[in-house]
Amino acid sequence: MTPAQLTCILLPIVLAIHCHKAPPSQSSSQVTLRPSLPDSRRELSIASKNGRDLFKKNCAMCHGLEGLGDGVNAPNLSPPPRNFRNLAFAKQRTVHHIFHVISQGGIQNHLSANMPAWGKSFKLYEQWDLVAYIDQIARTELQKVRLENRSALPNQTPSKK
C-alpha cells in the first residue's frame, strides 16, 4: 500500500472520529455558560417571595395585602398609605426611593409620618427583599396596562383611504 492510498483510507476515519467527538465538547461548554441566567432569576424571585412574606406581616395592615393601599388601618390615615398599583407611582418609582422610605420612614423622605422607619427592625437584605416585592407589584401593573394597550392597537391603525 502506498502512503497516498493509506491517507485515503485513514483520513475519512480520522475525520469521522473527530466529528463524532466534537458535539459533546461543544455542549459541555454550553452547560457551563448557561446556569448564570436562570440562577439570577431564581434569586430575584426568592427575594420578592421573602419580601411578600415580610410585607404580609408588617405592611399589609396599612398598604393592603395586594398593595392597593386598602389595609385595615387605611381609613384612619391621612394621607392614605401608598397604593403600589397606582400608575403614577409605578412609572415614577425607583428602587432607591423605595429603599430609602422603607429604611428611614416617611418623614425623612417628605412623606407622611405615619409611614414608619424599618431600618432598625429589618436586616439590610430583608429591606431589599421588600423593595423587590413592591417593585414587582408595580412592574406587573405596568405590564398589564401595556398588554391592554397592545390589544387595543388594531383599532388605532389608520384606515386606508
Considering the complex, what minimum distance in angstroms separates the CB of residue 40 from ligand HEC?
23
Which residues make up the interface to ligand HEC (CB under 6 A)? 55, 58-59, 61-63, 73, 77, 79, 81-82, 89, 98, 101-102, 106, 111-112, 114-116, 118, 130, 134
Q: Which is nearer to ligand HEC, 78 or 155 (CB)?
A: 78
Q: Quick one: how many helices (H) and strands (E) in the chain?
A: 6, 0
Considering the complex, what minimum distance in angstroms separates the CB of residue 80 from ligand HEC?
7
Q: Which is nearer to ligand HEC, 22 or 95 (CB)?
A: 95
Considering the complex, what minimum distance in angstroms separates the CB of residue 44 from ligand HEC?
17
Burial 50-84 (b: 16+ CB within 10 A, else e): bbbebbeebbbebbbeebbbbbeebeeeeebbbbb
Cα 63 from Cα 120, distance rounded (Å): 20
Residue labelled with grid coordinates 393592603: 64
